[in-house]
Amino acid sequence: MHLKQIKMALESRPLYLQSSPLLFWTCSLLLVGCGCVPMQRDMAKEVASYTDVANQIIKLVLSGSAQKRSYQRLSNFTDAIGNRVSGSHNLELAIKYMYNAMSQDGLDVHLEPVKIPHWVRGEEGAEMILPRPKRLAMLGLGSSVGTPPEGIEAEVVVVSSFEDLKSRAGNVTGRIVVFNQPFVSYPETVAYRAFGASEAAKLGAVAALIRSITPFSINSPHTGWQDYQAGVRRIPAACITVEDAQLMSRMVGRGQRVVVRVTMGAKTLPDADSFNTVAEIKGWLHPEQVVMLSGHLDSWDVGQGAMDDGGGAIISWEALSIIKDLGLRPRRTMRAVLWTAEEQGGVGAQQYYERHKVNISNYDLVMESDLGTFAPVALQFTGSQAAQKVMQEVVQLLAPMNTTRLEPHGEGTDIEPWMQAGVPGASLHVQDSRYFWFHHSEGDTMSVQSPEDMDRCSALWAVVAYVVADLQDMLPR
């Protein structure tokens, strides 16, 4: 998950159902009572006619031959490849792997070339020199410049917020700024990772060390993208651990002089060639119309990228497999897109949008899973009121899984351009209380995934995508 999602999450209202099924049925009955036959009742009836097929999908995944397959596919994939950052050889291997795996699965697969950023971490390290020597666990941030080979050694100034930084403006020149901001929420607190370096550089800092954006730590550094502001000097930026940020804060609070040396071999190479990986089940009636399911195939260069976002990519593939296994073929095309270079700002998805937006009227629904594939809680959806009414009916088909909640605000860096342009968008709300404990860290591995939870995500994903792709009409805009 990239930091673009911050904005969307910040705009999210509290979770509640935007349309009440009770209200809807009351209105429908009143209309029927008047002798009117409302479109809504036909739609509800049409969606309800998918109850059997939804049950078949759920059964196949939760207790049939597809059981635990999502987990198996994800572990086969991430164990074989490992992490796969934008521009890396591993990402190339990952794309080839998924191209082959989905082709062998009998899907219609192709690759769409894109250019992506190629930032490399290089050798890096940080240590406290004064008041006592101590190695600092750290991870340089994506897009950061490196340091000279001998590193940058300077006294630190510790700040707890951007305001605190400004209040120390006279004391920042030539210093390393340590941001020790408290964790409030990811969308709010990630601003320090994203903008900390440029804000510090404006006041003359020589490097920025930012407390990792996490509510919990076992001395674990978390990486991620950061954005240099145009016209501001580019200084090296890295995340350190919560523990070390708090340690330095206590030391400076005691009046101690804290000196740190940071060394980073980070550099940005010319853009690399890459691909969005696309697999399809072509629609039998309207092959040009598309329900798109997606997740991103790239990850950070730590851990396995199992949670962010191997799981989202795999359930998007898996949803197609399930439909194929059941011998189904919807009216419209179901298209799984495995994005490249999401973590660098939805780069692959942006180029996909530019290429395909000419056909935007044929995009029925765009879906992305990029908040983990833990136990699903609800479907998040952005669309017109009329579209919400349809989706409200669709999620009732998930009653056997007890996940019939529709929530406002579909989200996902990669589907955002389509949603901004008015295409209905959906995403997966999962029980994710520990998501940010592992996010962008060495802890993002298969060990956080559960076969049962992944099955539930895949079943939900397949039911929603298939039914929307097979309804008589596209979702109303």
The binding site for a second copy (CB under 8 A) comprises: 75-76, 79-82, 131-132, 134, 137, 217-220, 242-243, 246-247, 250-251, 254, 303-304, 437-438, 441-443, 445-447
Nearer to a second copy, 13 or 254 (CB): 254
Nearer to a second copy, 425 or 443 (CB): 443
Residue 443 CB, shortest distance to a second copy, in Å, is: 4
Nearer to a second copy, 108 or 155 (CB): 155
Decide if 459 contacts 62 (C-beta within 8 A): yes
Written as six digits, the tokens of 472 are: 């008589």
Nearer to a second copy, 384 or 447 (CB): 447
Residue 258 CB, shortest distance to a second copy, in Å, is: 11
Among 414, 470, 153, smallest CA distance to 281 is for 470
Separation CA 73–CA 295 (nearest Å) = 14
Separation CA 477–CA 469 (nearest Å) = 15
Decide if 316 contacts 277 (C-beta within 8 A): no
Angle between helix 311-325 and 89-104 (nearest 10): 10
Q: Residues 124, 318, 342, 411: which is the catalytic one?
A: 342
Q: For tokens 């992490």, what's the residue?
A: 83
Nearer to a second copy, 162 or 437 (CB): 437
Q: Regarding beta strands 425-430 and 363-368, do their DSSP bridges make them parallel or antiparallel, or are they unpaired?
A: parallel
Nearer to a second copy, 136 or 157 (CB): 136
Output the CA–CA distances (angstroms, integers) from residue 431 to 5, 164, 312, in the order listed: 18, 35, 14
Q: For tokens 């597809």, what's the residue?
A: 66
Q: What is the three-class DSSP state of 142?
A: strand
Q: Would you say how long the chain is, in residues?
A: 477
Residue 335 CB, shortest distance to a second copy, in Å, is: 30
Q: For tokens 């994005």, what's the residue?
A: 339
Output the CA–CA distances (angstroms, integers) from residue 438 to 9, 74, 214, 470, in the order listed: 19, 17, 8, 37
Among 144, 172, 441, 177, smallest CA distance to 264 is for 144
The H or E element that residue 229 is part of is: none
Separation CA 373–CA 456 (nearest Å) = 9
Q: What share of the chain is helix, strand, coil (3-state, %, to 5)?
A: 40, 25, 35
Nearer to a second copy, 199 or 244 (CB): 244
199 in active site: no
Separation CA 155–CA 456 (nearest Å) = 51
Separation CA 294–CA 427 (nearest Å) = 9
Separation CA 411–CA 371 (nearest Å) = 9
Written as six digits, the tokens of 452 are: 């049962």
Q: For tokens 């673009």, what's the residue?
A: 4
Separation CA 295–CA 94 (nearest Å) = 13
Residue 256 CB, shortest distance to a second copy, in Å, is: 9
Among 91, 40, 413, smallest CA distance to 277 is for 91
Residue 313 CB, shortest distance to a second copy, in Å, is: 19
Among 465, 361, 360, 381, smallest CA distance to 424 is for 381
| Secondary structure E strands in 307-441 | 332-339, 363-368, 376-382, 406-408, 425-430
Nearer to a second copy, 129 or 328 (CB): 129
Residue 406 CB, shortest distance to a second copy, in Å, is: 33
Nearer to a second copy, 71 or 353 (CB): 71
Residues marked as catalytic: 342
